Amino acid sequence: MIPADFDSKFASVAETMNEEALKALIDLRASPQEEERLEYLGDRATEGLLTTEERQEYQSCIMFANFLGILQSKARKKLQAAA
């Protein structure tokens, strides 16, 4: 979980980016191999079969995805405001 006070910090990051960087950030996606790995880990988590290492990897992936999603949201808002 990301602390609520990070909202302004995320906005600050987006504010430092030009239009090209904002668009690149918005378009950033996991590779097919990364998506496949995340799906595998998710399935194992659902089944209660994750090893300690897999659980740490899965949690890290989820935290990064949340972080990236918030940054992408801030980037979209900045681009919309500039349009």
Which letter does DSSP use for residue 78 in this model? H
Is it the case that residue 56 has pLDDT exceeding 70?
Answer: yes
Residue 26, domain member (yes or no): yes
Residue 32, domain member (yes or no): yes
Read off the tokens for 44.
Answer: 């194992």
Total domains present in the chain? 1
Residue 75, domain member (yes or no): yes
Contact, 54 vs 41, CB < 8 A? Answer: yes
pTM: 0.81
Query: According to the model, what pLDDT value does residue 3 have?
Result: 64
Show the domain range for 60: 6-82
Q: How confident is the model at residue 4 (pLDDT cuts 50, 70, 90)?
A: low
pLDDT, one tens digit per residue, over 20-45 is 999 999 999 999 999 999 999 999 99
